[in-house]
Structure 1
Amino acid sequence: MVKKYIIVQTHTNKKQVCEDISRSLIEKKMAACVNIYPAVLSLYRYNSEVVEDNEYLIHVKTIADKFNEIRKIIERLHNYETPEIISLEILEGNEKYLKWIQDEID
């Protein structure tokens, strides 16, 4: 069966939250790799006001079968009341890299 590869994305304004989420996902073999990008400027509406915040962006490299478990882990460890947790499908990629993702999760 061909696996569907995805990137799960979330943001937070706390570096420690990023590290806790990332470490948990890697240790539980939910992800092969997690990238943390610092200094993302986010503008969003919250409680009827426009908010500007410096955040960290997290990209989780994984397979679609793991999404629900990953979502639960992020929700449990995240500091936001309503965190962004979205899945982006990887349509194409380096076959060796995608196999590595699969091997690290299995």
Structure 2
Amino acid sequence: MTEVQAALVWCPCPNIEVARKISEQLLQERLIACANMFPAMESLFEWDGGLSQASEVGVLFKTTADSLDALISRLGELHPYDTPAILGWTCDIAHPAVLGWLSETVGHTD
């Protein structure tokens, strides 16, 4: 069995409905094993030369390093923002049980 490396993707969404819809689609496509949603997040950011504010839902997606690029690409296609703040990274360390779960879940169509 090939060694699996865990990866995470962070992305804010405009509301819980969009976050759920995107998460469900990514689960169906087996690009993620889990999506943790953080509702009622306040975001302050620079946009178009000024300070902006938005109420958003943060989502942390759990996936594998092998699926990271495909997940980021697909998330960009599904996301309603013109410039979604999608950030992904690989994990240096993960519990063996989590690695087994990711290996069995992400990318498999059985």
Which residue is 2:91 aligned to?
90
Which residue is 2:38 aligned to?
37
Which residue is 1:47 aligned to?
48
Structure 1 vs Structure 2 CA RMSD: 1.3
Which residue is 1:79 aligned to?
80
Aligned sequence identity (%): 24
* 1:20 equivalenced with 2:26 (yes/no): no
For normalisation by structure 2, the TM-score amounts to: 0.87
Aligned to 2:9, the other structure's residue is in SS state strand
Aligned to 2:60, the other structure's residue is in SS state strand
Q: Which amino acid aligns with 2:77?
A: R
Distance apart, 1:91 and its partner CA: 1.4
Q: Which amino acid aligns with 1:80?
A: Y
Q: Which amino acid aligns with 2:86?
A: I
Aligned pair count? 106
Q: Deviations over 1:14-62 (max 9, x none)?
A: 2222112100110111111111111111110011110111111111100
Runs of 4+ in structure 1 over 3 Å off = none
For normalisation by structure 1, the TM-score amounts to: 0.90
**Which structure 1 segments of 5+ residues have no match?**
none
**Which structure 2 segments of 5+ residues have no match?**
none
Distance 2:101 2:4 in 1: 12
Distance 1:16 1:2 in 2: 35
Check conservation: 1:67, 1:87, Cα contact below 8 A: yes
Distance 1:93 1:46 in 2: 35
